[in-house]
Amino acid sequence: HGAAMGALKSLDTADSPSALRAGIAAARPHVGALPALAEEVSAAESKLEELSVASDPAAVERSGMAVAADWPHEGDQLKVLPIPLAPLQEATEQFSSASMVGKGGCASVYRGALPHPEAGSCLVAVKKMHEVHSSSELQALEREITILRQCRHPHLLPLLGHCLDLAAPCLVFPLMTGGSLESRLRLAA
């Protein structure tokens, strides 16, 4: 039981692909001894797969560009769509913790699949701001949307849509696979 707990700890503290591989190898023989270990091994294998995709920048770029290519356009520019709150709630399973991919001081980011008339559905990242409490906060969000509409750069995600519902203001971007920016930076180091 002690070896299983040690393997579990090595998975929890792994901060690089090599540490994840070592943790998975150490944990596999003890999966039967500790029920939670099977889930942790599975999660570690998924994270390792994300990190291996992250080491291929072209694969990551293709995933986001595929969504952008399928999104409606106005001429050669992406059309930034106003999106009602209900489809965003449905896409993110009511902003469930299972759909959350990140959290910061002013917003949480959720993975979702929005229906798309030509592509079936598009995988998106929905950045849900914490509640807006004043008109000045809403104006700040509107300014951010205006700026993001104008930003065009290969290293910036394009804004696909927005929701200005005061209960859950959101920005919608293509979902980029390959882990978080932090994990990609660690991998590069």
Domain ranges of the chain: 2-54, 57-185
Residues 6+ apart with CB under 8 A from 40: 8, 11, 12, 27
42: number of CA atoms within 13 Å, CB side? 6
Of 143 and 40, the structure prediction assigns the larger pLDDT to: 143
pLDDT, one tens digit per residue, over 64-88 is 556 666 677 777 777 888 999 999 9
Is the separation of the CB atoms in 161 and 81 below 8 Å? yes
Q: Which two tokens stand for residue 80?
A: 């930034």
Is the separation of the CB atoms in 29 and 37 below 8 Å? no
Domain covering 57-185 assigned CATH 3.40.50.850 in the classification = no
Sorting pLDDT into bands at 50, 70 and 90, what band is 93? Answer: very high
